[in-house]
Amino acid sequence: MPKLGVNVDHVATVRQARLAKEPNPIIAATIAELAGVDSIVVHLREDRRHIQERDVRILREVITTKLNLEMAATDSMVRFALSLKPDQVTLVPEHREELTTEGGLNVIENKDHLSSVVNLLQEAGIVVSLFIDPDIAQIKAASKIKVRAIELHTGNYANAKNPLQAQEELEKLEDTASFAIKQGLVVNAGHGLNYQNVVQVASIHGIEELNIGHSIIARAILTGMDEAVRAMLELVRR
């Protein structure tokens, strides 16, 4: 049975829209832990559009499960991770203009740089995972640089235009997961997973952890709406 990591970035997205103090992603993380989640995931982006360094520092202190920090493999982020020591770092490609992480890392083209970053972090006792597309050549490259784990990008599966395409993308995920496991890699998966498409991915043999953000935060907003409005109405009508 795969573990679940909940990404709380978009709680911070709502907070940053007003540069306010709430909603607080730390509280969201704590509630997720109380609900039974296995790890908390945050992406500290270069443009700091949602999660801030302070959030990651506080999370490091208060969460009781596992902190998985998604970040670009830049010098400043590596320095930050080495000083903060999250349980896990997931290295992702990052482009300023993108709405979200749009593709996996190109491990083949960046193997020297990624290898030295992976080494530095792993020597510091941090588990490192590379976010990559379900592509055998990328997995071989990841295995060569001796990274501990990979996270398979499920975006193409999630965004498939029809059931046939979804089935093809699912088979790619199954084949690459099984290949990666044979290489001795820990295999995680994530991106675009939601209440409609998660079961098929959770059923892939050997997947250790699914990391899910947007769909959970989206549902939390809507399931919490009724209670939030009733509480405000009570004050207004008092």
For binding to ligand PXP (CB under 6 A), which residues are involved?
A: 7, 9, 43, 70, 90, 92, 100-101, 131, 151, 190-193, 211-215
Residue closer to ligand PXP by CB (options 114, 212) is: 212
Find the shortest distance in angstroms from Cβ 28 to ligand PXP.
13
Using the minimum distance from each CB to ligand PXP, give the nearer residue, 39 or 90.
Answer: 90
Residue 43 annotated as catalytic: yes
Buried b (16+ CB within 10 A) or exposed e, 146-170: ebbbbbbbbbbbbebeeeeebeebb
Q: Is 50 annotated as catalytic? A: no
Rounded to a whole number of angstroms, the minimum distance from the CB of residue 89 to ligand PXP is: 11
When the beta carbons of 145 and 217 are compared against ligand PXP, the nearer one is: 217
Return the number of the residue (26 or 212) whose C-beta is nearest ligand PXP.
212
For the record, the structure tokens of 155 come out as: 């975006």
Catalytic residue among 43, 50, 153, 209: 43
Residue 129 and residue 148 in contact, taking contact as beta carbons nearer than 8 Å = yes
Smaller CB separation from ligand PXP, 145 or 197: 197
| 3 state SS for the chain | CCEEEEECHHHHHHHHHHCCCCCCHHHHHHHHHHCCCCEEEEECCCCCCCCCHHHHHHHHHHCCCCEEEEECCCHHHHHHHHHHCCCEEEECCCCCCCCCCCCCCCCCCCHHHHHHHHHHHHHCCCEEEEEECCCHHHHHHHHHCCCCEEEEECHHHHCCCCHHHHHHHHHHHHHHHHHHHHCCCEEEEECCCCCCCHHHHHCCCCCCEEEECHHHHHHHHHHHHHHHHHHHHHHHCC
Selecting among 151, 174, 191, 209, the annotated active-site residue is: 191
- Catalytic (active site) residue 191: yes
Please, what is the minimum distance in Å from the beta carbon of residue 216 to ligand PXP? Answer: 7
Q: Whole-number minimum distance, CB 72 to ligand PXP, in Å?
A: 11
Closest-CA residue to 187 (of 129, 104, 106):
129
Q: Which residues participate in catalysis according to the annotation?
A: 43, 70, 191
